[in-house]
Structure 1
Amino acid sequence: MARPLGPRMVPARRLLALGLGCGVTLAWAQSHPLVAAAPPASAAGAGGERGVAEWLPRMHDASRQRSYIGTFVVSTNGGAMSSARIWHTADGQLQVERVESLTGAPRSVFRRNEQVVTFLPEAHVVRTERRESLGLFTNLIKGPGGSVPDFYTARRVGADRVAGFETDVVQLQPRDALRYGLRIWSERKSGLVVKLQTLDQDGSVLEQSAFSELVLDAPVRADKLSQMMHATDGWRVEKSEVTRTSPEAEGWQMHEAVPGFHPLNCYKRPVAGAPGPEGTMQWVFSDGLAAVSLFLEPYDANHHAQEGATANGATQSLARRIQGNWWLTAVGEVPPATLRAFAQNLERRR
């Protein structure tokens, strides 16, 4: 089964909700500004209810402009829980953060813009790579051929306190069955996302994440975090060999697009110990909120023994043999039907 290219600590959308670049399944791109920031909270309602194109940019801007320290906890409907301590600082275009796992195997992940360094103390290994950061939301609110408002509605459904901060509670409702809904707690003054729930089609909570404690505008220094991420003396350093490619160059295409999902990036990495040029290709799609990664590699009967679907909270995965001699692993925080739609529309061109 294909493996994600990055470390898994807490689910991707949870980290992305904080503007972090240390997410789960891959490097996603954000090449342009989203849209202009929405008016401040005091102006909400002056011209009517805020829509998606007003709420989301405000949250996005807050994730990139505020420094903070906090403890972030993720729980799933299956009873699993993970937590991490986060230090984040923003200085103009520079984003630096440290994410320290508090559950499971010890792990420290540092990011300085696109550079990501992961320390694994038990193995005494440091892994380095470059990853383009998606940030909170992609630039698809006004993207070509579709936009977030075409597939989600947003409305304020109440107020609450999270980690001592007053928040607006915003419901993002999908317009079809290809994506999950979201309930977001946005800090009232800044817009920073401090709590997030992923909801299934019946409105049940699949996964919840929240700061259990948070210090906004904390004195986090980018130079200190940068020094820590480069302190690799005495560690075994492993450098990722992920390279950019394109589906066309690798011989793949989508017969029909899955509604609302735009291709973002495509990457390839060699398979450890495998001869020849073949490797694992990772093709990333997003609708501006949800992301799907398609991992494609040559079929190996010894390695790819079992087809099927699995779920971990909001994260779904689908593994199957396709196009004869190829193995697909599709992963995303989307309903199972969405992953099946991607699998059914994949075509081998050569």
Structure 2
Amino acid sequence: MLKIFPKLTALLLLFSVSSLSATELSPQQWVTNMVKSNQQLNYDMTFITLGPIDTLSLRYRHVFDEDTVYAQLLNLDNSPQEIVQRGDIVSYFANNYPPFSIESNHIVDQLPNILRVNISDLTKHYEFIDLGRNRIANRVAQTIRIQPKDNFRYQYVVFIDEETQLLLRSDMLDRDGNLLEQFRVVNIQLNTEPQTFTNYLAFAHLPPLVQHSAQVIDKNVINWTPSWLPQGFTQLKATREKINNQYIDSQLYTDGLFSFSLYVSDSPLPDNHETVWKQGSHTIYSETINKKEITLIGQIPLTTAKRIVQDIQFK
């Protein structure tokens, strides 16, 4: 008993000191610091993602050097796949398709949206709620719920490492609290010698950039618009693409955390039927309106997608 007492005392002291430092930060500050840490620290982590169909294990390495991001995402299951980032170029390598590159300032695959948000843009439409402390990957974590102020979008619960302020786990939940997707770190460590990794990517031969055929156009050129959107969603871009002698218009919207795209074409569905596909957080909904096929694809609830599509107005 005497041998156990010092260990219990040390453990209680650790938690009390950590609690003192944790209370100095608001839930918004914890999430703000988490985003900054994930973007600017040098680290190496192994994590798993749980989706509606399967569970994947991956390794992610990240280095921030002289305002340039170097990153690598490796799929540890099934067929090999590697995604690398060097600055504003992200390149994809796999066995089942030729390698290619796109212009992007981050890797989006298998990494949660919450890593790339601007917290100040979310505070009008989301509440940040302190859920206390937890333990993830043998590390003490602060737990924060990011809850929408309406019923038109999903919510997040994030677990943030108290020591490094890196994200250790995130749960995307629907409005009833059902799990849609989960990101969970198994092992994480800071990279104290990043030079070898940056040299590898700095001099690597990257595949050519994919040339997009879609033309970015002024939103005023498109003759249709959604007459209703959940508060906070704004248009990022509008494009027009010609496929098989037919034009397809698209508009991309986001509230800073979730996003969706609207597509309008002159190919109405037969008998004005609707098409619905739902898998985890991803929704596809199509309907014929005004003799045009309107399709929404994005991370929003099906009821929200239906209302947006059905309220499309043509000029």
TM-score, structure 2 normalization: 0.78
- More deviation in 160-169 or 318-327? 318-327
Q: Which runs of 5+ in 2 are unaligned?
A: 1-17, 107-112
> What residue identity is the alignment partner of 1:239?
V
Letter in 1 for 2:286: A
> Counterparts of 1:55-204 in structure 2 under 5 Å?
55-76=30-51, 78-123=52-97, 125-131=98-104, 133=106, 136-139=115-118, 141-142=119-120, 147-204=121-178
For residues 322 and 114 of structure 1, the distance between their equivalents in structure 2, rounded to whole angstroms, comes to 39
CA distance in 2 between partners of 1:311 and 1:42 (Å)? 44
Percent of residue pairs bearing the same amino acid type: 19
Q: Is this contact kept in 2: 1:72–1:83, CA < 8 A?
A: yes
1:75-130 per-residue CA deviation (whole Å, 9 max, x = no partner) reads: 13x4522232212111242112121223354332222233222123233x122221
List per-residue Cα deviations over 1:205-263 (Å, max 9, x = no partner): 222111222222353432312433x254xxxx572315533432333322233222122
| Counterpart AA for 2:308 | F
Alignment correspondent of 2:9: none
Match of residue 336, structure 1, among 279, 302, 307: 302
Aligned match of 2:217: 245
**1:222 and 2:198 are equivalent in the alignment:** yes
What secondary structure sits across from 1:223 in the alignment? helix
Give the structure 2 partner of residue 346 of structure 1: 312
Contact 1:41–1:188 under 8 Å retained in 2: no
The 1:301/1:151 distance shift into structure 2, 3 A limit, reads: closer
Residue 56 of structure 1: how far off its partner (Å): 2.7
Residues matched between the structures, number? 289
Question: Structure 2 counterpart of 1:286, which letter?
Answer: T
Could you say which structure has the higher helix fraction?
2
From the superposition, tell whether residues 318 and 167 of structure 1 become closer, same or farther in structure 2 (CA, over 3 Å): same
- Judge conservation of contact 1:68–1:88 (CA < 8 Å) in 2: yes
Q: Is the 8 Å Cα contact of residues 285 and 296 (structure 2) preserved in structure 1?
A: yes
Partner of 2:193, secondary structure, is coil
Aligned twin of 2:245: 275
Output one character per residue of 1:163-185: Cα deviation in whole Å (capped at 9) or x when no partner.
23321111122221111121101
Contact 2:48–2:185 (CA<8 Å) still a contact in 1?
A: yes
Q: 2:23 aligns with which of 22, 39, 45?
A: 45
Corresponding letter in the other structure for 1:95: V
Say whether residues 1:266 and 2:238 are aligned partners.
Answer: yes
TM-score by length of 1: 0.71
AA partner of residue 225 (structure 1): L
CA distance in 1, matches of 2:192, 2:273: 48
Residue 220 of structure 2 aligns to a residue whose secondary structure is helix
User: 2-side partners of 1:300 and 1:226: how far apart?
Assistant: 48
Which one scores higher on RCO, CA 8 angstroms, separation ≥ 6?
1
Secondary structure, counterpart of 1:179 in structure 2: coil
* Residue 285, structure 1, aligned to residue 260, structure 2: no
Q: CA deviation at 1:44?
A: 4.1
Q: How big is the shift at 1:74? A: 1.1
The CA distance in 1 between the partners of 2:193 and 2:262, in whole Å, is 39
Instruction: For 1:43 and 1:248, locate their aligned partners in 2 and report how far apart those are by CA, in whole Å.
Output: 51
Aligned partner of residue 150 in structure 1, secondary structure: coil
Q: State the alpha-carbon separation in 1 of the partners of residues 221 and 236 from structure 2.
A: 15
Structure 2 CA distance for aligned equivalents of residues 45 and 223 of structure 1: 40
Preserved CA contact (<8 Å) 1:195 1:210: yes
What 5-or-longer segments of structure 1 have no aligned partner?
1-39
Q: What amino acid sits opposite 1:347 in the alignment? A: Q
Shift of 1:201: 1.9
Larger Rg: 2
Distance 1:107 1:248, change over 3 A: farther
